């Protein structure tokens, strides 16, 4: 996530909200089932609304997009078909429907941008050792962000993409990759497969790419945050931008292993 300068008084709010978000995510991940599905579904609907705002959609079109996305999200519920190829097909159908009805192609792309990570996280959670796998996919993004932030602050140096995100440095990217890799290695005693540890550096780079992409979207839209729903953090997209590309690729790696 992009970390623009904020007032020191805001640091306490950011810390409290950040801890609360991690606690909620960890609890839902632990219980799995309906609790985890409900959390990712709520997050996806908010992200769909924020995505629409970044692409100039009207209030009505944003609501329509949310309703259309709710179809595949509902199919992925534990009491329905669950995460499956049916849900994948419905995500594609929702994307086409939204694009055609609203005549906003990027709003349709948002259905896939938001829906695929939800499908991926649910697939990871329902796999054997699902708690560990889903936690690895989610927490490696956190580890990347934290390590990148502190490495960038401590080392500094050349900017990564100053036009898109003035605060990011190559040192931060390297620190993020190292931090995520060390985190994955720490999970090996708990059963994390070696191929997933090897894939972690690539996923860390993807996490930073997702962050940069959302920063570019915000800069193009002329906004600082995707919304102000999370005090001190901005929007849900701002917090999960790195997870968006990571989750589907993590799911693909797992499916290849199986």
pLDDT tens-digit readout, 185-198: 999 999 999 999 99
Domain that holds residue 66: 32-126
Give which of 142, 144, 76, 61 is closest to 107, Cα–Cα: 61
**pTM: predicted TM-score of the whole model, two decimal places:** 0.92
Do 211 and 152 lie in one domain? The reply is: yes
Q: Considering 93, 126, 159, which residue would you say is the last residue of a domain?
A: 126
Q: Is residue 148 part of a domain?
A: yes
pLDDT-derived band at 8, boundaries 50, 70, 90: very low
The whole-angstrom distance between residue 238's C-alpha and the CA centroid of its chain comes to 9
Q: What is the mean pLDDT of residues 237-245?
A: 95
Do 113 and 195 lie in one domain? The reply is: no
Do 231 and 136 lie in one domain? The reply is: yes
188 phi, psi to nearest 5 deg: -60, -35
Do 143 and 209 lie in one domain? The reply is: yes
Gyration radius of the chain over CA positions: 18
Do 79 and 186 lie in one domain? The reply is: no
> How many helices and strands in the chain, by DSSP H and E?
10, 2
Percent of the chain predicted with pLDDT > 90: 82
Do 171 and 246 lie in one domain? The reply is: yes
Do 162 and 90 lie in one domain? The reply is: no
Counting the structural domains of the chain, the total is 2
Q: Is residue 23 part of a domain?
A: no
Q: Considering 96, 126, 156, which residue would you say is the last residue of a domain?
A: 126
Do 155 and 237 lie in one domain? The reply is: yes
pLDDT-derived band at 10, boundaries 50, 70, 90: low
pLDDT in tens, 155-207: 988 998 988 988 899 999 999 999 999 999 999 999 999 999 999 999 999 99
pLDDT-derived band at 11, boundaries 50, 70, 90: low
Do 141 and 120 lie in one domain? The reply is: no
**What's the CA gap between 178 and 200, in Å, rounded?**
10
Q: Is residue 2 part of a domain?
A: no
- Whether the CB-CB separation of 203 and 249 falls below 8 Å is answered with yes
Q: Is residue 25 part of a domain?
A: no
Q: Is residue 6 part of a domain?
A: no
Q: Is residue 149 part of a domain?
A: yes
**What's the CA gap between 149 and 157, in Å, rounded?**
13
Do 80 and 136 lie in one domain? The reply is: no
pLDDT-derived band at 104, boundaries 50, 70, 90: very high
Do 144 and 249 lie in one domain? The reply is: yes
Do 143 and 112 lie in one domain? The reply is: no
**What's the CA gap between 153 and 234, in Å, rounded?**
21
């Amino acid at each position: 996530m992009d970390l623009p300068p904020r007032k020191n008084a805001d640091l306490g709010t950011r810390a409290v909200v950040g801890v609360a978000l991690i606690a909620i995510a960890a609890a839902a991940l632990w219980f799995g089932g309906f609790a985890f599905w409900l959390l990712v579904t709520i997050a996806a609907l908010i992200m769909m609304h924020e995505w629409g705002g970044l692409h100039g959609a009207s209030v009505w079109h944003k609501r329509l997009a949310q309703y259309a996305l709710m179809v595949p999200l509902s199919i992925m519920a534990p009491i329905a078909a669950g995460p499956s190829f049916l849900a994948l097909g419905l995500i594609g159908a929702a994307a086409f429907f939204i694009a055609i009805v609203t005549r906003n192609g990027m709003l349709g792309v948002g259905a896939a941008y938001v829906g695929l990570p939800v499908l991926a996280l649910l697939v990871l959670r329902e796999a054997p050792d699902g708690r560990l796998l889903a936690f690895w996919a989610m927490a490696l993004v956190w580890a990347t962000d934290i390590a990148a932030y502190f490495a960038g602050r401590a080392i500094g140096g050349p900017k990564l993409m100053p036009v898109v995100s003035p605060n990011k440095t190559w040192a931060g990217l390297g620190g993020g990759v190292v931090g995520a890799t060390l985190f994955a290695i720490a999970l090996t005693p708990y059963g994390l497969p070696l191929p997933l540890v090897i894939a972690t550096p690539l996923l860390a780079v993807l996490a930073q790419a997702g962050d940069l992409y959302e920063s570019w979207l915000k800069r193009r839209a002329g906004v600082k945050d995707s919304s102000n729903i999370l005090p001190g953090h901005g929007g849900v997209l701002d917090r999960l931008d790195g997870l968006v590309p990571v989750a589907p690729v993590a799911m693909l790696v797992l499916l290849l292993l199986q």
